Amino acid sequence: MSSVQVQQTVSCPVVCAGVGVHSGARARMVMKPAPVGTGIRFRRTDIKDRDNLLMARGDHVSEVQLGTTLQNADGVTVATVEHLLAACAGIGVDNLLIEIDGPEVPIMDGSSAVYCELLLSAGLRQQGALRRRIRILEEVEVGDGVKTARLKPSADNYLAIHAKIEFESRAIGTQQMSLRLLPGMFARDIAFARTFGFAHEVEFLKSKGLARGGSLDNAVVLDGDTVVNPEGLRASDEFVRHKILDAVGDLMLAGAPIAGIYEARQPGHALNNKLVRALLDTPSAWCWETDEVAADMEPVSLAARQ
């Protein structure tokens, strides 16, 4: 039996709080149901004198060096949105209003697992409209030295991901992973992977007033070839899994789920945003698409097998 994908939001508001990894500022977030066609939007409730609504879209990205930061026309920002966006994309939340009273999305444990759990605990509600996705029609590629990323056409309605990373540290080395973002896969296989960094980089960032909220509770820290965290890794290839997590969040900034193949070597936020912008700037490379509706079709939720 065939099935169609419909838009989804959360069934009820869900609340969380925590510190931002870079600002160190504590923020409270309320993730609320949103109408069909809203997409993912943030509202800075601590700002009253300017437009405080921000759209999660690639052309609204203002900073990609230490994470993905959104900014609106009035200069209002919200930082480190990628792990929450990855959770939304991974479990199939199309429409969501995120009210936040601080400058940065809480880092939680450095992964997307907490956000997946919160959204799924609220329950996902199917909405009365078909899910709209971006169908890749021709290859789009960007690069920066040895770093490359591309989107290519595929035969099905899901995002296929192939990522490879290479680091001198023997704790990482060369890692690669391929997967199709099928229902249930993100929450099970990717969401738990934590952000990572090197001890000397953390100290440098803190000397510049950054990474103020960073700790072994929300990041994997390496000192040369050694993982500093006493509990070790959650998976031997946790590093490439986190790079895939980041890519899922960054690609959601295209404005809809992508039906295509993402291939990357040494991916990062800057490269991913460059790819999203290149895609949106090449109208011939993609089109909007929804499933055909027929009498024998029934809706399917991306969270159906979470």
Q: Which residues are catalytic?
A: 269
Q: How far apart are alpha carbons 221 and 171 in whole angstroms?
A: 11
DSSP designation for 81? -
- List the alpha helices (DSSP H) in 69-143: 82-91, 113-122
Q: How far apart are alpha carbons 177 and 125 in whole angstroms?
A: 32
Cβ contacts of residue 145 below 8 Å, gap of 6+? none
Burial (CB count within 10 angstroms: exposed 0-12, middle 13-18, buried 19+), residue 104? buried
Cβ contacts of residue 201 below 8 Å, gap of 6+? none
Structure-token match 């936020």, residue found: 269
Residue 105: φ, ψ to 5°: -65, 130
